[in-house]
Structure 1
C-alpha cells in the first residue's frame, strides 16, 4: 500500500461514473476494463476531487477537464494505432494499447487540484505514481513502463510502438487543451 493512494474498487456508483466518463472501455476485455476502472476509482477516491468532472488537465488550464483530455488522447491513439498497424505492419495488443491510452494520466488527480500542484507533484514526476499504481494492480510491464515514462520531460522513454502512439496522441490532445484555453501549444514553443 502507498501513502499516496489506497487501492479501492469503490462503490457501484463510482464505478459506473468512471465507466461513463471514459471512452473506449468497450474495446478491451472485461478483466482489463475492470482493472482500468479500479485504477481510476482509486485515484479519484484518493484525491481531493469530489466529482470526476472537476478533475483538471493541469492547473494552468482549469477550464479544461481531465476527462476531455484522456478521451481525446484515447480516440486519437486508436486512429494512430490503426495507421501504425496498417502502414507499418506493427501488431498491437489492444488490451495493452487501450490501457496505455486510457491510463496515461491516471496519476493527475493526485498531482493537481483545480488551481495548484500538490506536494506529491513536487516529490515525484508525472507518470511515476501512475506506474506504481498500475504495477500494484497487476498491469503488464509494457503498460507500466509506458505510463511511467510518457511525460515529455521524462529522462528517458520506452521504445515500444505503443509509447510512440501515445506520445503523438497525447501531444495532439495537449495542444488542443492549451490552444482552447489561450495557452501556447507545445508545437509553437521554442
Structure 2
C-alpha cells in the first residue's frame, strides 16, 4: 500500500485547491495541472475532510494550507532577491513546484480522531518527504523537484545542494519558526542539537 491514490478529483475539489494555492499563476499551465492533481491526490487520500483541516504538525494548531502559502511567498521573495543581488537564475516551474509541494505528504502523515491530531501509521513506516517524493514522481515531476522534496525535512540524513533546495530550506524554516513563536514553542533557530 502506498498510502495515497493519484486522482484528478472532482471539479469542485480542483477549484478549492486552485483557490487556496499561492503561486499557480507563476507556473506553466502543464505544471499548474500537475500541482493541483498532486494536492487533490494527497488531500483525498487523507482522513481530512476539508483542506483547512489538514494539519501542519501534531505539535502545532497551525493549518498546513497557511504554512504552504507562507513558504511559497517567502521562497519567491528569496529567489527574487538572489536574482537581483547575485544574478542567480531560477526556473520558475521548478522552484515553485518545490515550494508548493514540499509538504505534500503532511495530510498523509497525520490522522485526526475526535479533534486530536496524531502521527499516522504511514508516518511510522516512511519519513516525511519520502512519501511526498513518491507521489510527485508518479506525476512526472523532474528529479530536482522529487529529490528536494524527499530530503528537505530537518531530520533527513542529507539535504539537496541546489539553489532551489537552499531557498526552500530558508523559506521553510523561517515560516516554521514564525509558527513556533506564534504557538509558544521554541523556534528551531534557538534549539540546540546534540
TM range (shorter): over 0.9
State the secondary structure of the residue aligned to 2:136: helix
Question: What root-mean-square deviation, in Å, do the aligned CA atoms of Structure 1 and Structure 2 show?
Answer: 0.9
Map of 2:64 onto structure 1: 66
In structure 1, how many angstroms separate the alpha carbons of the residues matched to 2:180 and 2:125? 25
In structure 2, how many angstroms separate the alpha carbons of the residues matched to 1:151 and 1:184? 18
Q: Give the drift of 1:88.
A: 2.1
Alignment counterpart, residue 155 of structure 1, candidates 149, 154, 157: 157
Q: TM-score, normalised by structure 1?
A: 0.97
Map of 2:178 onto structure 1: 176
Structure 1 residue runs of 4 or more that deviate by more than 2 Å after TM superposition:
none
State the secondary structure of the residue aligned to 1:116: strand
Matched, 1:139 2:141: yes
In structure 2, how many angstroms separate the alpha carbons of the residues matched to 1:113 and 1:71? 22
Would you say how many aligned residue pairs link Structure 1 and Structure 2? 188
Q: Give the drift of 1:113.
A: 2.4
Per-residue displacement from partner, 1:132-166 (whole Å, max 9, x unpaired)? 01111000111001011001110011111000000
Unaligned runs of 5+ in 2: none
Q: Give the drift of 1:31.
A: 0.6
Alignment counterpart, residue 90 of structure 1, candidates 72, 88, 91: 88
Matched, 1:167 2:169: yes
Unaligned runs of 5+ in 1: none
Alignment of 1:9-158 (within 5 A): 9-62=8-61, 64-114=62-112, 115-158=117-160
In structure 2, how many angstroms separate the alpha carbons of the residues matched to 1:179 and 1:59? 16
Q: TM-score, normalised by structure 2?
A: 0.95
Map of 1:189 onto structure 2: 191
In structure 1, how many angstroms separate the alpha carbons of the residues matched to 2:2 and 2:145? 22
In structure 2, how many angstroms separate the alpha carbons of the residues matched to 1:189 and 1:113? 27
Per-residue displacement from partner, 1:28-78 (whole Å, max 9, x unpaired)? 01110000000000000100000000111101112x100110000000000
